[in-house]
Every structure is written in C-alpha cells, then in structure tokens.
Amino acid sequence: MKNVRVTHIGGPTALVEAAGWRILTDPTFDPPGRRYSFGWGTSSRKRTGPALRPDELGPVDAVLLTHEHHADNLDDRGRALLPDVPIVVTTRAGARRLGGGARGLRPWAETTLTAPGRPPITVTATPCRHGPPLSRPIAGPVVGFALHWEGQEHGVFWITGDTVLFRGVRQVPRRMVVDTVLLHLGAVRFPSTGPLHYSMTAAEAVQLCTLARPRTIIPVHYEGWEHFTQGRDAVEKAFAAAPDDLGQRLHWLPLRTKPH
C-alpha cells in the first residue's frame, strides 16, 4: 500500500504509519520466559521478546486492540502504555474493562480517528471467532479492524485479529476491497484441548486470501510463543502451492527478536 509503513515488533504487535498517523496494534512488550494463563486450563510460555521497547516507539496516536484478555495480545508492559495513548479502540467488553475512555466496537460498527492536521481514519470492526464453533464463551470476544482514509488507491488496510476461518471473516472481502492484510496466523493449539485450533492455519489463510485477493499480505502472530503450532515454513509452503500469484503477495517483515 502506497505511503504506508509497517514495523513488526513481535507477535501481533505492529506499528502502522499512514496518512500522518502512528497506530499500534495489540501492544505486547514483556520480555520472554514467563508463562501466562489463558484460562480453562490453558497456558503458554513467551519465547521471544519485542523488537522494540515502548520507549523506542516514539509517539503513538492510537492503539487498535483486537482483545485485551489474552497476554499474547496485551501484556503487562503493553497495558502500561495505554494511558498515554489518546485513542484506544477494542471490543465492547474490553472497553468496559479497560475504562479510561476506550472505544468499544461490535463487528461492523465504525469509529473515526481524528486529530488536528491529519486526515480522519474510519475504523470498521470486523468479525472474529477465536476458536471452533461455540468457543466464544470460553475464548471471549475478539474483533479485527479495517482502516480507510482519504487518498487510499486500492482498498482498506485490514487487521484480521485472532480468528479462525468462518462465515463472519469471509464476509469482509465480500463487503470491502482489501489492499493490505495484516494476517494473524499461528494455528494456536493447547494440549488440554487436543486438535482444536484457536487461530488461523496456513491452509485457512490461503483460502481467505484467495477470496480477498489483497495486493500485500503481511503475516503476524505466528512466532514467539509455545502455543503456535505453525510458523513461517508452514505458511510459505501453503502459499507456494496456492493458485495464481498469491505466494508472491506474501511479505515477511524483519524481526530483531532474540530467542530466550
């Protein structure tokens, strides 16, 4: 996408610089080594740290938080950053828990980011299901975000959020043209729930991108934690076998993280 810069900080955390805005997704800045509980007998250890510390980010105009109740999307140091950010957008349940004026959205609801001297950005919440059917009461609410601003040439900038492939997420490319997608992957699984997966597999990602046909595909949230079962190799293999030129649209952003 023209005039957009994306810096992958680690996991789901990315700094998106566009139209004069500096937007941070799912802030995770804790060091590696700690084990975190995800509820219902599930847990995972963080294996790698962030590419940047919070004090190395520079000013952040807004945080887009797909969900705040899992530490691989909002950890302690990421949470400490939120009070200094002018705008925080998340789920409705997450906004109630965070307080502080956070904006909560249901899927397909919109909010507008505004600030002096910058064009407004329309943020549309997109559907997510963070696991198999009937998992929402356990996994909790999650949303993705589609960003649109004046001057975009080819379509929205879409952050899928933690989701599996299901009817709701398939509606996104049917409702809007997607130029760039920040694609949450990893095929999350836990020993206590067997073969069930809680985020998109590489095969599901190919299906979704075949439907959406984005010009640029940026994988995130596939590394750095024990509960990811598919990394870069699995994603590259799946996209290499995809029809047409889909694999050529895959762009891996560099990470400067060090293994624990």
Assigned domain for 258 exists: no
pLDDT tens sequence across 120-161: 999 999 999 999 998 888 889 999 999 999 988 889 999 999
Assigned domain for 257 exists: no
Where are the strands (E) in 49-137, listed by range? 62-64, 87-91, 103-105, 110-115, 118-127
Assigned domain for 189 exists: yes
Residue 155: what residue type?
A: G
CATH of the domain at 15: 3.60.15.10
Assigned domain for 255 exists: no
Assigned domain for 254 exists: no
Assigned domain for 259 exists: no
Phi and psi at residue 23, to the nearest 5°:
-115, 130
Residue numbers of the domain that contains 88: 4-249
Encode the chain (260 residues) as per-residue pLDDT tens digits.
Answer: 568 999 999 999 999 999 999 999 999 999 999 999 988 778 999 999 999 999 999 999 999 999 999 999 999 999 999 999 999 999 999 999 999 999 999 999 999 999 999 999 999 999 999 999 988 888 899 999 999 999 888 899 999 999 999 999 999 999 999 999 999 999 999 998 889 999 999 999 999 999 999 999 999 999 999 999 999 999 999 999 998 889 999 999 997 544 33
Return the bridge partners of 127, or none: 143
What whole-number distance in Å separates Cα of residue 57 and Cα of residue 75?
Answer: 16
Count structural domains, the chain: 1
DSSP track, 123-141: EEEEE---SSTT-HHHH--
